[in-house]
């Protein structure tokens, strides 16, 4: 028996086997969850399909389009019925704005990072609520990073977007609670993922992050995924509007 037996969870944001979203999906599946994956476009589908045996569990969804989100969630509801949770692990900023000084950030780049990395959580939550996709109780979990609080080298516009994302978590938690939906964030430690490699000086970031863990070992996908499984389970019904750090203590220093 697992803590997620008979639960259906949507996972948004798997890019490859190293993705934190993939680690979350794996740990939730170990606990009995039925996982439904979304992908942005045909190119991303090719990557995700290598990790998923059943293509009926792959649904196209571009979070920069409200229409695409609505279409995806309608398809999911028609195919699988109501679901018990959504993992939002989506963020994007232009690579040239994730290096050097934040003074290089353009107006359009700032807006793009906010739209995809922060507003998309609101868009996903709004659509799921309007389409009555979520059960009661249900859980929404997003992925954030310590750069929302501290000026991490080169993280720049993404740090600002993550700060907005965390504010969204608090306001969504307040307003969705009456419908039995709790909203939380996991602040994951730095790992060598596709997203991290887009940050200028990412090798130094990973090295310093590992040195600042309490045991000098980087956090693992399984450790982050285990926390996600807990937040998706009914064991976490009292956890609402929080940012939970899963970074082996890096944020303490």
- What are the residue numbers of the active site? 145, 155
Altogether, the residues listed in the chain come to a count of 253
Nearest residue to 196 (alpha-carbon basis) of 2, 15, 66 = 15
| d(C-alpha 85, C-alpha 135), whole Å | 8
Residue 97, token pair as written in the block:
């704005």
Long-range contacts of residues 172-180, Cβ cutoff 8 Å, at least 24 apart = 172/121, 172/122, 172/125, 172/140, 173/240, 173/241, 174/241, 176/125, 176/129, 176/140, 177/240, 179/129, 179/134, 179/136, 180/134, 180/135, 180/136, 180/137, 180/138
Q: Based on the number of CB atoms within 10 Å of its own CB, is 91 exposed (0-12), middle (13-18) or buried (19 or more)?
A: buried
Q: Is 112 within 8 Å of 93 (Cβ atoms)? A: yes
3-state secondary structure of 159: helix
Residue 145, token pair as written in the block:
């990073």
| d(C-alpha 162, C-alpha 127), whole Å | 21
Q: How far is CA 7 from the centre of its chain?
A: 18
């Amino acid at each position: 028996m697992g803590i997620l037996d008979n639960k259906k969870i949507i996972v948004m944001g798997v890019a490859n086997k190293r993705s934190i979203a993939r680690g979350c999906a794996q740990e939730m599946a170990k606990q009995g969850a039925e996982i439904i994956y979304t992908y942005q476009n045909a190119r991303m589908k090719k990557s995700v399909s290598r990790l998923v045996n059943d293509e009926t569990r792959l649904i196209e969804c571009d979070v920069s389009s409200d229409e695409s989100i609505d279409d995806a969630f309608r398809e999911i509801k028609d195919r699988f019925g109501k679901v018990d949770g959504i993992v939002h692990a989506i963020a994007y900023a232009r690579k040239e704005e994730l290096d050097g000084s934040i003074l290089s950030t353009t107006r359009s780049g700032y807006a793009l990072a906010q739209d995809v990395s922060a507003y998309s959580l609101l868009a996903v939550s709004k659509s799921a609520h309007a389409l009555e996709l979520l059960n009661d109780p249900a859980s929404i979990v997003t992925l954030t990073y310590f750069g929302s609080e501290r000026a991490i080298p080169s993280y720049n516009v993404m740090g600002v977007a993550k700060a907005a994302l965390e504010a969204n978590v608090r306001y969504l938690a307040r307003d969705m609670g009456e419908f039995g939906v709790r909203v939380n964030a996991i602040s994951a430690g730095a790992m060598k993922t596709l997203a991290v490699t887009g940050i200028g000086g990412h090798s130094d970031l990973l090295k310093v992050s590992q040195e600042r863990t309490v045991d000098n070992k980087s956090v693992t996908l399984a450790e982050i995924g285990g926390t996600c499984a807990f937040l998706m389970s009914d064991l976490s019904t009292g956890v609402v509007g929080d940012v939970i750090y899963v970074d082996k203590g890096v944020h303490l220093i």
